[in-house]
Structure 1
Amino acid sequence: MRRPVLTGAAALALGVAAFGAGQILSPSLSTAQQIKTEAPKAAAMLPGFADLVERVSPAVVSLEVVAVAAEEGPSADDLEGMPPQWRRFFEQMPNQRGNQARPREQRGGGSGFFITSTGYIVTNNHVVEKAKEITATLKDGRELKATVVGRDERTDLAVLKVEGGSFPYVQFAPEARVRVGDWVVAIGNPFGLGGTATAGIVSALGRDIRGEGNIADFIQIDAPINPGNSGGPTFDMSGRVIGVNTAIFSRSGGNVGIGFAIPASLADRTTKQIIEQGKVTYGWLGVLIQDVSREMADSFGLGSDVKGALIANVTPGAPAAKAGLKRGDVVLAFNGQKIEGSADLTRRVGQTRVGEVVRLDVVGAKGVRRTVPVTITARPTEQQLTQADPVPGADAAQPASAADNALGLSVGPLSAQARTRLRLPANEAGVLILEVDPDSRAAERGIRAGDAILTANDQEVRSAEELDAAIEAARAAGRSFIGLFVQSQSGGGGFVPLPLEAASKPEPKK
């Protein structure tokens, strides 16, 4: 458990402060300035929320969803491991023979809110993605059948439509300047209880909670939200929608004061596209990217404070390939605005209009900086992108010749079978990793036998000798790390920095 550790650290910190206060905080030894205290202003006192809730709550609806899910019987492997009497029982069950799926109904709930008087409702994609029937319950008790206009998995947003008119509605505030500490109110349908209002503050901005492919920089709030609040609005004190509640962080499934909302700027843009087109179109660059760590920056000879997105792979024929971008380039800025990391670049590209020409400030692995114009195209479907990804396959036959190196790796030439398994073209440079010292830094960082090293410090390697030469060149240049591009046997690839220390093995654990 983490709590005892934190508690102990806190106690230790308090002990140091108590014993060292006379010396550390002495005015004669410190140039720090005390933060002035101010009496609370009237507007800063605890507010009342009743008028706000009364005004906006008629626009919020509770959603009841009926979905169809496939109920699968035991698999052949499951049956094989059962005692004979249990195996016969499951084999003779109706609709289970042959591992056939039996459809069954599932009921769930969520929240939503009107954004037009004509019946358009915003909610989360995960609330309605498998729905065969949706009922929206209004504050006045009316129950209306809703249909799905369109859904978007990347933002987890969906738009519904109910028949009728003159519905009370609220509006997004895409230009609102949300600040940490602002009061917010969340209204929704937690646990199916119906319209429920909770209040809190904005805890943080720009949260990345979904990793690769994330298109939203989420707002973190501590207004209590629970299962069933998904798709409901988060309001500021003016009654404007600043976010759409979408997720919570919890070990128990209930509220612990950490909730996340999709920002209004993204929700407004996404829902408008769904209403107008029935779908959402995203900009696409056609690169696989990763963050630039300090170690990676060192291996490329860049400053330790460099931030950006490191290009690990370029899709053939994609906008990036046509613009001349290549593996090992680091994108530092997008249309003159600094890139903080891979998630930042993903969001900026995704939110760019198709056909727009953008300027990327790029530095190559050799330190040459350049500005590259790129014409953004429409992002392919998830299915098309998945089909283009490398997939694992059969083990490759090991070549006869191999050589160990200072990184704790035994490498040899890439066979035709290994290239097929790793989805590498015949003209792609690289060496196959045959063995990995289990005590090496390479093993610690996930490099495995069967992977391939394609480049070392942006230099193509085709043999163990060329890899050794790249290691020595990095050492001669005074670098502490060498950057390897590793094509993984489990699919995909990326840059891995390895230390160039005299001993490749980590220090023994104490």
Structure 2
Amino acid sequence: MNQKNYWIPIIISILAGACIGLTVLLIQEKQKISDSSYATPVKKATPSVVNIYTQVIQQKGFNDSGKAKHSINLGSGVIATKDGFILTNHHVIQNAQSIVIALHDDRRIEAKLIGSDPSTDLAVLKIELSNLPNIQMGNSAKVSVGDKILAIGNPFGIGQTVTAGIISAKGRNSIGLNTYENFLQTDAAINPGNSGGALVNLRGELIGISSAIYSSTGGSQGIGFATPIDDALDVMSDIIKHGEVVRGYLGMDAQKITQSLAENLLLPTNHGLLVSDITKESPAEKAGIEVGDIILEINDTPSEDPFQIRHLIASLKPGTHISLVGIRGQQSYQTSIMLERQPTMQRISH
């Protein structure tokens, strides 16, 4: 081998090593930038978050001219689809006479209310505009406690604002805000006006719809709640198809049986759900379920958590048959029940 050919592989190895080293340095530098700044996901997500202005006629009170008073309420929303469907909270648009959407690019347009669902505090609006920057959807099932997130909205009407935090908890279901709760909890500052805004991950993907704050003062105190996007998309799909959410209905209230409850009431078991109320003419009553019965299983699933059972029943469509295993006195029984359509604004547990 001559001297010239001898150096060629060495030079190639040196150049390849330099390229790899440079690539690693660039990746590390990019990682440093992403760790110190949320600019990339913010730039990606903010064009899809809108401000919502609603005009509400106050039921009581008149101005000096004898006309009914009007008030302007503020909130936020998220452009969910390219053809203009917007997700927001029910309470943002409740009793609104008119709804105006202000986009990130300063366009303003009146929105049409497609439908709302008070039970989950969600609503769907529609606007007719071209070139809409719909947000990229994430997967809230893959969200973990400790994940960094961003909340984007219009707090206090001062304009679009971004706050940062983490996912503090998942599956919060006994807050008492909605009939059906499965909240993501976050410490990102969520203030009045943020309602209906976006909770996004660091890829700029939507993982939740900001819903409420847990506060005695009305200001952020490090506990905010958002509806997971997986749940919100199910609600949106039903509202677009039917104008409302169609849920299964059983008509039964029950509470979890604990060891102390079982001992105090001399129950034959220390697990399951104790039926505390049956709605008249409901599927539960028609099937012969009685107050005091103990429900052990529904659809072969152990009945331990009333909130999980509530979501299970609500997730099934009217006409679906469920199997139920229970105890009355010392006698066990099994029955099949056909779910009916949940009455409008029904706030029964199941």
Same fold (TM > 0.5): yes
Shift of 1:303: 4.3
RCO higher in structure (CA 8 A, sep ≥6): 2
Q: Which runs of 5+ in 1 are unaligned?
A: 1-41, 74-92, 96-101, 390-510
- 4+ runs deviating over 6 angstroms: none
How many angstroms apart in 2 are the aligned matches of 1:159 and 1:343?
25
How many angstroms apart in 1 are the aligned matches of 2:106 and 2:41?
20
Question: Secondary structure at the residue paired with 1:313?
Answer: strand
Q: TM-score, normalised to structure 1's length? A: 0.58
Question: Secondary structure at the residue paired with 1:131?
Answer: coil
How many angstroms apart in 2 are the aligned matches of 1:224 and 1:255?
5
2:193 partner letter: G
Alignment check: 8 A CA contact 1:246 1:260 kept: yes
Alignment check: 8 A CA contact 2:118 2:178 kept: no
How many angstroms apart in 2 are the aligned matches of 1:57 and 1:302?
56
Question: Secondary structure at the residue paired with 1:206?
Answer: strand
2:154 partner letter: N
CA offset digits 1:137-167 (Å, max 9, x no partner): 1111111111211111111111111112331
Corresponding residue to 1:52 among 41, 52, 57: 41
CA offset digits 1:158-193 (Å, max 9, x no partner): 111111233111244456322111111111101112
Corresponding residue to 1:301 among 253, 267, 271: 267
Matches for 1:380-459 after TM superposition, within 5 Å: 380-382=343-345
Is it true that 1:239 corresponds to 2:204 in the alignment? yes
How many angstroms apart in 2 are the aligned matches of 1:236 and 1:212?
24
1:297 partner letter: A
Alignment check: 8 A CA contact 1:174 1:268 kept: no
Question: Secondary structure at the residue paired with 1:176?
Answer: helix
Aligned to 1:443: none
Matches for 1:298-337 after TM superposition, within 5 Å: 298=263, 299-304=265-270, 306=271, 308-337=272-301
How many angstroms apart in 1 are the aligned matches of 2:119 and 2:45?
28
CA offset digits 1:23-75 (Å, max 9, x no partner): xxxxxxxxxxxxxxxxxxx89x94632101101111110111111112259xx
Alignment check: 8 A CA contact 1:220 1:260 kept: yes
Aligned-residue identity in percent? 35
Aligned positions, number? 315
2:312 partner letter: R
Shift of 1:375: 1.6
Aligned to 1:170: 135
Aligned to 1:357: 321
Alignment check: 8 A CA contact 2:199 2:226 kept: yes
Question: Secondary structure at the residue paired with 2:151?
Answer: strand
1:265 partner letter: D
Corresponding residue to 2:304 among 323, 336, 340: 340
CA offset digits 1:204-234 (Å, max 9, x no partner): 1111245497212111111111000000111
Aligned to 1:218: 183
Alignment check: 8 A CA contact 1:246 1:262 kept: yes
Shift of 1:327: 1.5
Alignment check: 8 A CA contact 1:216 1:266 kept: no
How many angstroms apart in 2 are the aligned matches of 1:171 and 1:361?
43
Alignment check: 8 A CA contact 2:121 2:178 kept: no
**1:125–1:322 CA distance, 2 compared to 1 (3 A):** same
Question: Secondary structure at the residue paired with 1:127?
Answer: helix
Alignment check: 8 A CA contact 2:248 2:342 kept: yes
Shift of 1:336: 2.8
Question: Secondary structure at the residue paired with 1:169?
Answer: coil
Is it true that 1:376 corresponds to 2:336 in the alignment? no
Corresponding residue to 2:256 among 278, 285, 291: 291
Matches for 1:118-197 after TM superposition, within 5 Å: 118-174=83-139, 176-197=141-162
Alignment check: 8 A CA contact 1:208 1:214 kept: no
**1:201–1:336 CA distance, 2 compared to 1 (3 A):** farther
Corresponding residue to 1:208 among 168, 173, 180: 173
Shift of 1:94: 9.3
Q: TM-score, normalised to structure 2's length? A: 0.82
CA offset digits 1:302-360 (Å, max 9, x no partner): 444x2x43212223432212333221122233323333332222222112122222223
Q: Which runs of 5+ in 2 are unaligned?
A: 1-30
Corresponding residue to 2:52 among 49, 53, 63: 63
Alignment check: 8 A CA contact 1:214 1:343 kept: no
Instruction: Kindly name which structure, 1 or 2, has the bigger radius of gyration based on alpha carbons.
Output: 1
Corresponding residue to 2:73 among 76, 92, 108: 108
Matches for 1:499-510 after TM superposition, within 5 Å: none
Question: Secondary structure at the residue paired with 1:328?
Answer: coil
**1:193–1:202 CA distance, 2 compared to 1 (3 A):** same
Question: Secondary structure at the residue paired with 2:69?
Answer: strand
How many angstroms apart in 1 are the aligned matches of 2:315 and 2:201?
24
How many angstroms apart in 2 are the aligned matches of 1:243 and 1:138?
19
How many angstroms apart in 2 are the aligned matches of 1:146 and 1:245?
20
How many angstroms apart in 2 are the aligned matches of 1:338 and 1:171?
37
Question: Secondary structure at the residue paired with 2:141?
Answer: coil
**1:133–1:361 CA distance, 2 compared to 1 (3 A):** same
Alignment check: 8 A CA contact 1:285 1:377 kept: yes
Aligned to 1:82: none
**Aligned-pair RMSD on alpha carbons?**
2.6
**1:285–1:131 CA distance, 2 compared to 1 (3 A):** same
